[in-house]
Amino acid sequence: MSFTSWPLAFAVDITSAVNAVRLTLQPSECTPVLYHSTSFRGITGIIDTHALWATCVEDLEDKAEIQHGTDMIEAEIQKTGFTEANAIPEQILRFVPQFLTERRSWTFVACFRGTLEPPNLAEPAAAKKCAEWVGGHPYSLEFETLSDCEPRLRLGMHAELQYHRVVYDPALQRDAIARAITAVVDSAQKYCGGTLEGAWADSSAKSHARIAAQCLIDMISGFKSAGYSWEDEWRIVCRPRIMPAGSAPDLEDANFRPYIKTGNSRYVDLRVYERGPVFSAFPPCVLPFRAVQVSDPSNSLFVERQRIRRMLDENRRLDIPIRVSTG
């Protein structure tokens, strides 16, 4: 029997199913305010460009986390039992590890904290790590979310963005991955039929595996080790928008590619655009944050704070306060 599939239905179903798994790990709405911690160079760059960077997950300092998530997915695939009745899902899952690696280069994250004050940690190693991190990121930019899981920060029509609350519990991570792999199998059984064989067999399996892999990467981009749970981290996860038919992956990436910039790492610029009473095809972008919090116990950042104030005033943002914590 020849192979038949409904790629549009598969793409919609698997995206919805894996997202439903992810949402079981999330609160019902985003916290009203998030904080992006950064350095003096970081904040001045954000003011200059009116943009917040989202960094490629391959280029994060803690990129071992995304590799750990990838390893967990591959281990779960190996545990999946297959029979002749679900041979097509097996062929699709066979290519998922390949695309997990590829899709990491097309997935970007911007990191936030859900709380401003660093926690009191009893464990000395964690307390030291927290203190070092706060010392290197004395500026915290306050972002309003309106409690909406769809960010106000935007990239473009060819990008998909979503807030994720980071999951630290390894048991929850493993369970979510197992349910997501089951969802891939179920979607393949519903929307693929016949036998994957012949000249187009691998191409068809890869097309479906690519969609599944991107959905899985979206989910694990919000996973981190339990040792970092003190961060109370949220992330914006950004990647190419999956086209409705799921049949033009090269075009999806080609549309997204112009957004990607390179420096010490690959990144994309996320911006908030002004919404006026008159629609404009090219609305001006505005500074994306509403306040600056500074941790400066010794008052050593006074000159930097003056420079930040001047930059805000030059951008006509006298309304953005700089709040200094000396504790």
DSSP H or E run through 20: helix 7-23
Q: Which residues contact 87 (CB under 8 A, 6 or more apart)?
A: 195, 196
Instruction: Give the residues of the chain that fall short of pLDDT 50.
Output: 277-279
- What is the pLDDT at residue 278? 46
- What is the pLDDT at residue 147? 83
Alpha-carbon distance 174 to 192, whole Å? 27
CA atoms within 13 Å, Cβ hemisphere of 311: 19
The whole-model pTM stands at 0.88
Structure tokens at 277: 């009473």
Sketch the domain layout of the chain as residue ranges.
4-325
Q: What is the DSSP string of 118-142?
A: PP--SSHHHHHHHHHHHHH--EEEE
Is the dihedral angle over the CA atoms 87, 91, 92, 93 positive or is it negative? positive
Whether 66 and 58 have beta carbons less than 8 Å apart is answered as yes
Alpha-carbon distance 188 to 96, whole Å? 13
